[in-house]
Chains A and B, each alone.
Chain A
Amino acid sequence: MQIRIDHVVRHFGRHAALAGIDLHIRSGELVALLGPSGSGKTTLLRAIAGLEPVDAGQIHFGERDATTLSVQERRVGFVFQQYALFRHMSVLRNVAFGLDCRPRRSRPTRADIDARALELLARVQLADLRDRLPDQLSGGQRQRVALARAMAIDPTVLLLDEPFGALDAKVRVELRRWLRDIHDATGYTTVFVTHDQEEALELADRVVVMNAGRIEQVGTPEEIYAQPASAFVFDFVGHSNRITGRVEGGRFVAADAATSWPLPTPQADGPAQLFVRPHDLMLDAQGQGLAGTVQHLWRRANRQVLTIAIDGQPEMLELDLPLHDASSVPAAGTRVQVAARHFRVFPVAA
């Protein structure tokens, strides 16, 4: 089911957790809400579920105005960060809970409920563990039970709060792919919250980047990564370097530097910041780049990472070289010049 969010506002005291959110989630889409803690992403997720009231704005499920509907009426499948499994019930009864709670006239028979719950457990590959208690499961298994439980009510939308936050790295990657498979097989419209950009970019059809209660950018993972709409998005999604300076006559001039770089697209003159990914930086032998001194060398998997203090810049640059260039890696203390293949320049409010 498609979900439309119009001008949604939510305040906690004087702090605006959601400062006017407009978002359209298409039916069957897998959407990531990405942002640092305090960006409002979890508040937005809870507002969609009806767990958090909104101060202004509307939320539509399909054509239906859901803004004033109760949690129960919205029929969302919500997976909590700590799973919130009922600790005194078996895995099977946890999954069956939504059906067990239906009013008598619309409740299936006990046998039908159990069959349906078992079918869902089979889908999440946990049918063998039907009689276990949640305490007796691993984190990844609990996560899957929570998802099966949420799907048991045939939800209008699946909402997941930091679904992989409590898991170790290896299980995380496995479950991520597995969630994608489940989504593709069931077709449920799915929204999940994460602060991990890698997770959002790998898993989602579209990524919503949030900051300070606002949406910074909505786009496919490729768009978010390759064409960040703001300095915040560039900085938050992937590694980035920042060079302060100004735009003058279609060129970016770094502070205290003799060289300037032509802008890919025209921009108004004024103070600005240049953002560049570590792998888009290179050492420049022609003497056209920014001058600086190599500070440290780091090995990272199959890469060589250099940190370079650029003359007149407050922040060090991180430069990422493929390891086959290792023969030409300068030693610490060497004076070098740095150039960039791709970069983006965002104006700084004066």
Chain B
Amino acid sequence: MTTNEPRWLRRGLIALALAFIAFFLLLPLVAVFVEALRQGFGAYLRALQEPDAWSALKLSLLVAAIAVPANLVFGIAAAWLIAKHDFRGKALLVTLIDLPFSVSPVVSGLVYVLLFGAQGLFGPWLIEHDVRILFALPGLVLATIFVTFPFVARELIPLMQEQGRDDELAALTLGASGFQTFLRVTLPNIRWGLLYGVLLCNARAMGEFGAVSVVSGHIRGLTNTLPLHVEILYNEYEFVAAFAVATLLALLALVTLALKALLEVRHGDALAARARH
């Protein structure tokens, strides 16, 4: 120990930090499960078997199942473009990728209302052709894709930049086509970082509230995702049901956290540079 603070100060600070963690991180998590099980395990299971809860779960999974692969492809494409090529406007593109992080999700949702709403830019055309985007699955997916776009790209850009272009060039000199190079060299080089990005992207896609809330319309059994369903139940004083559904989201968070930690331990050197700092 190189510091010379008195022992009581060191102990005090450690205790303070632990108390802080317990109060702000651990306690809410425990509270979710305690509240959900307040009326027993049977009530908990019944709340999860509600048709509306079921459809919210299925909708959340469906939205994530579309948005995450889409962002996987977009993220790889954007990272590949930025890390392996030089072009004008690169800095602008990097800034744009971060936009969803800096904009409030509610604003992102409102943008879609402005674009696709009845009074929006494309509204009349959409009504005429009977295409539903707002208050339907497409709107939810669009809003989710927007909000979760940076996760994969952000993870891959520094990783690919650090790896440089030589591996790909070497593959080309050895006669590999562009596609073979991507499949056999680029993709394996980024696989763990990609998995890491997808994990975070998925967690956010399932948990997103703000943007989705604006475009959803809260139609029970139709356009309610899990987080929206929790809010509705809570507002209707269905506390057990609300917390029961919330446990699903909490479990997802725990699984994500566990997988993330596992990746960092097992493949930390193959993740983006920040994992090593």
Contact = CB atoms under 8 A, between A and B. Distances in A.
Given A78-B170, A80-B169, A80-B170, A72 B176 contact: yes
Contacts of B176: 72, 97-98, 101
A71 B169 CA distance: 9
B174 A82 contact: no
A98 B188 CA distance: 17
Interface string B120-147: 0000000000000000000000000000
A117 B237 CA distance: 70
Interface stretch (A84-92, A281-289, A294-302, A315-323): A84-92
A86 B172 contact: no
A27 to B, nearest CB: 20
A100 B176 CA distance: 9
Contacts of A150: 173-174
B175 A101 contact: yes
B184 interface: yes
A100 B175 CA distance: 10
A115 interface: no
B173 A77 contact: yes
Nearest to B172: A71
A153 B170 contact: no
B184 A78 contact: no
Contacts of A88: 188-189, 191
B173 to A, nearest CB: 4
B5 interface: no
Contacts of B175: 72, 75, 98, 101-102, 153
Nearest to B178: A72
Most chain B CB within a 10 A radius of its CB, from A72, A87, A153: A72
Nearest to A93: B184
B186 to A, nearest CB: 10
A84 B167 contact: yes
Main secondary structure of the interface of A (DSSP, over half): loop
B43 interface: no
Nearest to B181: A101
A331 B185 CA distance: 63
B17 to A, nearest CB: 37
Contacts of A74: 173
A96 B164 CA distance: 22
B188 A80 contact: no
B169 A84 contact: yes
B206 to A, nearest CB: 30
A51 interface: yes
Interface in B153-202: 164, 166-167, 169-177, 180, 184-185, 188-189, 191
A88 B184 CA distance: 10
Contacts of A101: 171, 174-177, 180, 184
Interface string A52-96: 000000000000000000011011111010101011110000000
B114 to A, nearest CB: 42
A74 B169 CA distance: 13
Nearest to B166: A84
B192 to A, nearest CB: 10
Given A80-B166, A101-B180, A86 B173 contact: no
A49 B166 CA distance: 13
Nearest to A80: B166
Nearest to A96: B174
A150 B174 CA distance: 7
Given A86-B185, A153-B174, A51 B169 contact: yes
A149 interface: yes
B174 A98 contact: yes
Nearest to B180: A101
Contacts of B169: 51, 71, 78, 80, 84
B173 A51 contact: yes
B271 to A, nearest CB: 14
Contacts of B166: 80, 82, 84
A98 B180 CA distance: 11
A68 to B, nearest CB: 16
Contact of B170 (A72, A75, A84): A84
Contacts of A98: 174-176
Interface in A248-293: none
Given A82-B166, A84-B166, A71 B189 contact: no
Nearest to A70: B172
A95 to B, nearest CB: 10
A165 to B, nearest CB: 14
Contacts of B172: 51, 71-72
A89 B189 CA distance: 10
Contacts of A152: 174
Contacts of A102: 175
Contacts of B191: 88
A84 B186 CA distance: 12
Contact of A86 (B164, B167, B177): B167
B189 A87 contact: yes
A102 B175 CA distance: 7
B173 A49 contact: yes
Interface of B: 164, 166-167, 169-177, 180, 184-185, 188-189, 191
- Listed from nearest, the 6 A-B pairs whose CB atoms lie closest are A98-B174, A84-B166, A84-B170, A101-B176, A78-B173, A88-B188
Given A72-B173, A88-B188, A153-B175, 4 more contacts: A51-B172, A86-B189, A100-B184, A152-B174
5 contacts: A75-B175, A78-B173, A86-B170, A86-B189, A102-B175
